[in-house]
Structure 1
Amino acid sequence: MSMTPIVLDARTLKALAHPLRVQVVGTLRRFGPSTATQLAERLGVSSAAVSYHVRQLAAAGLVVDVPERGNARERWWKAAHDVTVADTRTLDEDDPDALDAYLRSIATAITLRIQQVLGARSAMPPEWRSVTDLSDFRARLTPAQTEELTERLHAVAEEYVRQHPESEAGPDAEMVSFDLQVLPDLDVGDRS
């Protein structure tokens, strides 16, 4: 599976530093090309709000027009990239406030998705309910060890994405989302 990534820079970071914009890009990646009206229905917001944010995303090159699907009355959009990569070290130096806003937007989108899935959990087939997992772990690590952990977890996730492309999925396969958060514990107490 060939994935098209975008590495965020200061301009694209600012364009994604809004929860609705993160949701729009995620929805286009998940469901494919859509109109602003369709996106608004999926996201539960007004078409005017989605249209405004889609134009901002298009100006930043994060979504693109799909002219072969549109007509004089409706415009279709698709995500311009399959994957978003944020080099937090560089972005933190360039614009820490925009990076923080972007990260909060990502956290909001992940939280909404988790709540939607948990709200629908009782209607899931038992085999999917039994493999749904929300786990947390704690370890006392140095920044270097934390970086190593993050890289290893990313490698495992990327391996599964490569080895199980959507185009080769069997009839019992479903799209599965897995999110990674590696965060320092703010309530550490005594560090001795």
Structure 2
Amino acid sequence: MTTEPNAVVLDGSSLKALAHPLRVSLLGALRRFGPATATQLGQRLGISSGSASYHLRQLEKAGLVTDDVSRGNARDRWWRAAHRVTELRGEDMDPADADAIDEYLRSVAASYTLVLQQTVNERATMPPDWRDAMDISDYLLRLTPDEAKTLAVRLHAVVREFRYDVPENRAPEDAERVTVVLQILPQPQGALEDGVTEDDPS
């Protein structure tokens, strides 16, 4: 799969740094809202500035956040995300990192859920054009693993045809930030709850 522009591909060190829901939230906030101090991030996420500072330093050690040298002073340290996109390539990871991958994905899933809930809650106050543009859809397909990978590649390619939310990309005046979440969720019969299969008539 092609690496996204300004992306970091997780290795064992950076994966372990992100295997914590608060760190995923901190990195996501910096990417979504731009540079901020630990105090500002703490207020946004409902945590103490000390806690925010500690977790930001762990992200810094992994190369995921860095100082914003264009801001701040001796009293206030400003942080920014070092990359716009995070990529996880499970097939390239050490099997010993399996638990960290699962913890990271749980944190990501929680952050996606929060964004979805916030967007739905704010839908009533959106301009009509944006209410009409919003879409939440799901499709139940029956695919092989190779077909699922092909689907992911094609969907990523479609998203790349559009304008990334980066400063160097000039956008029309009526453009707003849009979050696109891609989820391809295998659901093998053995993983279904209570042992019920799709062929069970009950």
Partner of 1:16: 18
* Distance across 2 between alignment mates of 1:31 and 1:22: 14
Amino acid at match of 1:121: R
1:67: how far off? 3.3
For 2:74 and 2:34, locate their aligned partners in 1 and report how far apart those are by CA, in whole Å: 21
> 1:48-75, CA deviations, whole angstroms, 9 ceiling, x for partnerless residues?
2211110110111100012341212110
Paired positions, count: 190
Conservation of the 8 A alpha-carbon contact between 1:19 and 1:106: yes
Equivalent in the alignment of 1:189: 197
For 1:75 and 1:94, locate their aligned partners in 2 and report how far apart those are by CA, in whole Å.
35
Separation of aligned partners in 1, 2:55 and 2:39: 12
1:169 aligns with 2:171: yes
Structure 2: gaps spanning 5 or more residues: none
Q: Give the Cα–Cα distance (whole angstroms) in 2 for the partners of residues 140 and 3 of structure 1.
A: 31
Do the aligned residues in 1 keep the contact of 2:12 with 2:94 (CA within 8 Å)? no
Identity %: 52
Q: Indicate which of 57, 60, 63 corresponds to 1:61.
A: 63
- Asked if the contact 1:10–1:94 (Cα under 8 Å) also holds between the matched residues in 2, the reply is no
Q: Structure 1: which 5+ runs fail to align?
A: none
Which amino acid is the alignment partner of residue 189 of structure 1? Answer: T
Q: 1:68 to 1:170 in 2, by over 3 A?
A: closer
Letter in 2 for 1:97: D
Alpha-carbon separation, structure 1, partners of 2:135 and 2:47: 29
1:46 and 2:48 correspond: yes
Question: For 1:96-116, what per-residue CA distance to the aligned partner results, in whole angstroms no more than 9, with x for missing partners?
Answer: 000000111110111111111
Which residue pairs with 2:162 in the alignment? 160
Match in the other structure for 1:113: 115
Q: TM (normalized to structure 2)? A: 0.87
Question: 1:92·1:99 contact (CA, 8 Å) conserved in 2?
Answer: no
- Residue deviations 1:96-143 (CA, integer Å, cap 9, x gap): 000000111110111111111111111111111111111110111000
**How many angstroms apart in 2 are the aligned matches of 1:127 and 1:44?**
32
Q: Is the 8 A contact 1:17 1:102 kept in 2?
A: yes
Q: Distance in 2 between matches of 1:96 and 1:161?
A: 34
Structure 1 vs Structure 2 CA RMSD: 2.0
Q: 1:37 aligns with which of 31, 39, 44?
A: 39
Matched residue SS, 1:6: strand
Residues in 2 aligned to 1:165 and 1:66: alpha-carbon distance in whole angstroms = 16
**Relative contact order higher in (CA < 8 Å, ≥ 6 apart):** 1
TM-score normalised per structure 1: 0.91
Give the secondary structure class of the aligned counterpart of 1:107.
helix
Letter in 1 for 2:9: V
Counterpart residue identity of residue 79, structure 2: W
